[in-house]
Amino acid sequence: MSTDVPQNRPKRLLVTGAAGFIGSNLVHWLLDRWPGASIISLDALTYAGNLANLEDVRDDPRHRFVRGDICDRELVAKLCDEGIDAIVNVAAHTHVDRSLLGGDDFVGTNVGGVQAICEVIKERKSIRLLHVSTDEVYGSQAPDEVATETTALDPRNPYSAAKAGGDLVALAYMHSFGLDVVITRCCNNYGPYQYPEKMIPLFLTNLFEDKQVPLYGDGLHARQWIHVEDHCAAIARVLEGGRRGEIYNISTGVGLTNLELTERLIEIVGKDKSLIKYVQDRPGHDRRYALDDGKLRGELGWEPIFDFGTGIEQTVQWFVDHEDWWRSIKSGAYRKYYDEQYGERIKH
């Protein structure tokens, strides 16, 4: 690790959505690699937020957890006034299947929450906002196409539409009020602490129990995959070096169909392909996401560290080693413990 600390590296960060998958990994990543930084973690503790993800940094003097909603402007303003110089907005409603059952929370947090943060920093313009977004905002790409940062937005489910709305709100506040906004759009992540409703942890935990894994449609939908720590490293690079108002795609170029990924997981876990159960396709299921991330690599010198084979094997091992973690989520036990500590959980 270089000993030269870049001049623009923020020292006091507010990470929203910090008890979720990417947020908790980011908090760990920053505390490990930016020794001069301190972090306030803000999370509403929806069903997807789990304080067990932050358990090992609970007593770190550089870290504090606050339960709250990014839509609560008063709270966000109060936290910002503790000397925050950058916000990383990771908070969101994230599960496409849930967004198809009802999009209110998705628009409320993914659009309204971004606007609330922008309203707060409109009065505090020295604070940089890095808004974490997704490749899904570009919609499906043809087999020979990749989305660049200037590709037209074409979101086609309530989740990705709400994410695209949040991106546009952040950019509009940047243009209208001179806010220091940067946006990252990343491909699919895998790694520790991913909530087991998402494909990789759901499939792994089902396979461990010899249960079937539900594969949508013909299984040929394609996604690019990145280890969550590589995503965190890219966020950190953009935080300290990204140009105001710019969007940076983040990817590895590693594309797999869902069937290829499923077969890989089955092989690593040592189970049989007969556990694959083809189920009716999700409505509006985008066929292929693919990003060009040449801008991030060229401008900021970021490269992923993990090759997919090593990263996915380590992830499988993490889930093997953390059976208590995923079992408490699948059984709902994690909710009871934190509800007792923090009062009733936000019901979205």
Ligand X SMILES: NC(=O)c1ccc[n+]([C@@H]2O[C@H](COP(=O)([O-])OP(=O)(O)OC[C@H]3O[C@@H](n4cnc5c(N)ncnc54)[C@H](O)[C@@H]3O)[C@@H](O)[C@H]2O)c1
Provide the annotated active-site residues: 135-136, 159
Contact 272, 212 (CB under 8 A): no
Residues 118-157 vs ligand X: string with x where CB under 6 A? --------------x-x-----------------------
Residues of span 320-339 touching ligand X by CB under 6 A:
none
Q: Which is nearer to ligand X, 115 or 189 (CB)?
A: 189
213-216 and 276-279: which strand pairing?
parallel
Span from 89-97, 207-215, 233-241, 295-303 in contact with ligand X (CB under 6 A): 89-97
302 near ligand X, rule: CB under 6 A? no
Block residue for tokens 């413990």: 337
For residue 154, count CB atoms less than 10 angstroms from its CB and return exposed for 0-12, middle for 13-18, buried for 19 or more.
middle
Work out whether 286 is an interface residue with ligand X (CB under 6 A): no
Place of tokens 């932050």: 54
88 binds ligand X, rule: CB under 6 A: no
Between 42 and 266, whose beta carbon lies closer to ligand X?
42
Distance CA 334, CA 293 (A): 37
Q: Identify the residue among 15, 30, 87, 91 touching ligand X (CB under 6 A).
A: 91
Beta carbons within 8 Å of 285's beta carbon, 6+ residues apart? 216, 217, 221
- According to CB under 6 A, which one of 88, 121, 164, 186 is a site residue for ligand X? 186
Task: Judge whether 184 and 250 are in contact, CB under 8 Å.
Answer: yes
Instruction: Name the residue with the smallest CB distance to ligand X.
Output: 20
Count CB-CB contacts under 10 A for residue 205: 18
- If one asks whether residue 158 binds ligand X (CB under 6 A), the answer comes out as no
CB closer to ligand X, 23 vs 241: 23
Residue 200 makes contact with ligand X by CB under 6 A = no
Q: Which of 141, 62, 136, 60 is nearest to 99 (CA)?
A: 136
For ligand X, which residue of 38, 94, 141, 206 counts as binding (CB under 6 A)? 94
| Closer residue to ligand X, CB minimum distance, 44 or 259 | 44
For residue 20, the minimal CB distance to ligand X (Å) is 2
Q: Does 77 engage in binding with ligand X (CB under 6 A)?
A: no
d(CA 327, CA 122): 43
Judge whether 200 and 308 are in contact, CB under 8 Å: no
User: With respect to ligand X, which residue has the nearer C-beta, 43 or 293?
Assistant: 43
Task: Quote the CA–CA distance of 130 and 167 in Å, as a whole number.
Answer: 10
Q: Does 223 bind ligand X (CB under 6 A)?
A: no
Q: How many residues bind ligand X (CB under 6 A)?
A: 30
Decide if 80 contacts 89 (C-beta within 8 A): no
* Contact between 93 and ligand X per CB under 6 A: yes
Q: Is 235 in the site for ligand X (CB under 6 A)?
A: no
Residues contacting 102, CB < 8 A, separation 6+ = none
Which of 92, 130, 162, 259 is the binder for ligand X (CB under 6 A)? 92
For the chain, helix, strand, coil in percent to 5 are 45, 20, 40
Smaller CB separation from ligand X, 71 or 275: 71
Residue 67's H or E segment, with its range, is strand 63-67
| x/- map, 37-76, ligand X, by CB under 6 A | ------xxxx-xx-------------------xxx-----
Shortest distance, CB of residue 266 to ligand X, whole angstroms? 21
304 lies in the binding site for ligand X (CB under 6 A): no
Contact criterion met (CB below 8 Å) for 103 and 143? no
CA distances from 303 to 28, 224, 238 (A): 20, 15, 12
Name the residues that contact ligand X, by CB under 6 A: 16-17, 19-23, 43-46, 48-49, 69-71, 90-94, 109, 113, 132, 134, 163, 186, 188-189, 195
